[in-house]
Structure 1
Amino acid sequence: MLRFDPFHDIDTVARQLLGETVGSTRAPRFMPMDLFKAGDHYVLNADLPGVDPGSIDVNVDNGTLTLQARRSLPSDEHVQWVASERFAGSYMRQLSLSDGIDTDNISATYNDGVLSVTLPIAEKAQPRRISITGAGDSAKTIEAGKS
């Protein structure tokens, strides 16, 4: 399915005027990702095929998780492009994190073109037991249910 982008032609002309003519003039538009909860943590998987692992940057600042990466094309010296359909350039994705994420223990791996970021749930955000006492009653314990 093709998406209508009224600014695509203007963007292409601007890139050509600025001298960006190596390989594809198309730039990455987004970084596809999946996010799921598995036990006491969340897992974010982002597709970054062909990205140099050294160009990947994952950081957290003030409750915002930022993922950045770059895919480069071979230099155009002695290269005659026949087809150039793969995106090249910088990718970036930002997500707001809740206070329930333990930002000090976030970890990431890159394998087979997929960046996996593990976001542990903070201990304060995990279900816990709460004791309830009433006048003249013995203590009762209610376990927090899972939604």
Structure 2
Amino acid sequence: MLTLRQSPFDLFEKDLFKQLEQQLHTAERVPPAEVLETEAGYAISLELPGVSRESIDVKATDRSLVITAERSAPAEGSPAPMLSEFRYGTWSRSFRFPSGIDRDGLEAHYRDGLLTVVAPKAQTTTTVSVKVEG
């Protein structure tokens, strides 16, 4: 006898589908980013709606930039939402550049949920030699 299925999800066992759904809800999401390169440096923009300025941390090394932020959950005692697709918690993104950046010249601006970091290119690069001891 031929059985017609109502939905493609009927192919999954219910437990498997439930596991996939839980993984989707707990998956780490990172904000969308845009990186622009000019002769003078790099401009990195990230969408951070609902993130407070105080929770954003920008750190740089010679060739990379690490941005960390936290979106806080509503205070306890607030009414529970009937449906929520918001993601709360801490996340981090890192960017590595083909040439060195001037860490002292970094600028970061946050307005209307958009973080923009300007990283000038380093004018000089340094090489360090290390003596190998036996």
Root-mean-square deviation (Å): 2.7
CA distance in 2, matches of 1:121, 1:108: 15
Q: Where has structure 1 moved over 6 Å in runs of 4 or more? A: none
Unmatched 5+ stretches in structure 1: 1-5, 14-24, 126-147
Q: Percent identity?
A: 31
Using the size of structure 2 for normalisation, the TM-score is: 0.67
Please, what TM-score do these two structures have when normalized by structure 1?
0.61
| CA distance in structure 2 between the partners assigned to 1:35 and 1:53 by the alignment | 20
> For each residue in 1:45-92, what CA deviation from the matched residue of structure 2 results, as whole angstroms up to 9, or x when unmatched?
011111011000000136331100111121241413211111111121
Q: Relative to 1, partners in 2 of residues 1:61 and 1:9: Cα closer, same or farther, differing over 3 Å?
A: farther
Q: Give the aligned partner of residue 84 of structure 1.
A: 84
How many residues align? The count is 108
Q: Could you say what secondary structure the match of 1:123 adopts?
A: coil
- Structure 1 residues 78 and 56, CA gap change in structure 2 (3 angstroms): closer
Runs of at least 5 residues in structure 2 that lack an aligned partner in the other structure: 1-15, 126-134
Partner-residue secondary structure (3-state), 2:19: helix
**Distance in 2, Cα, partners of 1:31 & 1:118:** 18
